[in-house]
Amino acid sequence: MSSWTLLTGYVTIAFLISLGGSYRVAQPAPLKVTPVRVAPVKVKISALGTYVPPRLLTNADLAKMVETSDEWIMQRIGIRERHVVDKGVATSDLAVEAAKKALAERGLTATDMEAIIVGTVTPDMLFPSTACLVQNKLGATGVWGFDLSAACSAFVYALQTGAQFVATGAHKKVMVIGADVMSSIIDYTDRSTCVIFGDGAGAVILEPAGQDEDFGLIDFIHEIDGAGGCSLYMPGGGSLHPSTHETVDKKMHFVHQDGGAVFKFAIRKMTEVCERILQRNGFTVSDLNLFIPHQANKRIITATADRLGLKPENIVINIDRYGNTTAGTIPLAMDTARQEGRLKKGDLVLLASVGAGFTVGATLLRWAY
Of the listed 83, 171, 256, 294, which one is catalytic?
A: 294
Q: Is 324 a catalytic residue?
A: yes
Closest-CA residue to 185 (of 243, 116, 268, 133): 243
194 is catalytic: no
Instruction: Report yes or no: 201 and 94 within 8 Å, Cβ to Cβ.
Output: yes
Complete DSSP assignment for 177-246 = EEEEEGGGG--TT-HHHHTTB-EEEEEEEEEEPPTT---EEEEEEEEE-GGGGGGEE--SSSSSS---HH
Q: Which residues pair with 355 in a beta bridge?
A: 359
Measured CA to CA, the distance from residue 3 to residue 229 in angstroms comes to: 68
Cβ neighbours of 44 (radius 10 Å): 23
From the candidates 59, 314, 318, 324, give the one annotated as an active-site residue. 324
Among the listed residues 317, 306, 310, the one whose alpha carbon sits nearest the alpha carbon of residue 285: 310
Helix (H, G, I), strand (E, B) or coil at 343: coil
2's CB contacts (< 8 A; 6+ apart) are: none
Q: Is 294 a catalytic residue?
A: yes
Residue of 59, 83, 132, 152 marked catalytic: 152
Q: Indicate which residues carry an active-site annotation.
A: 152, 294, 324
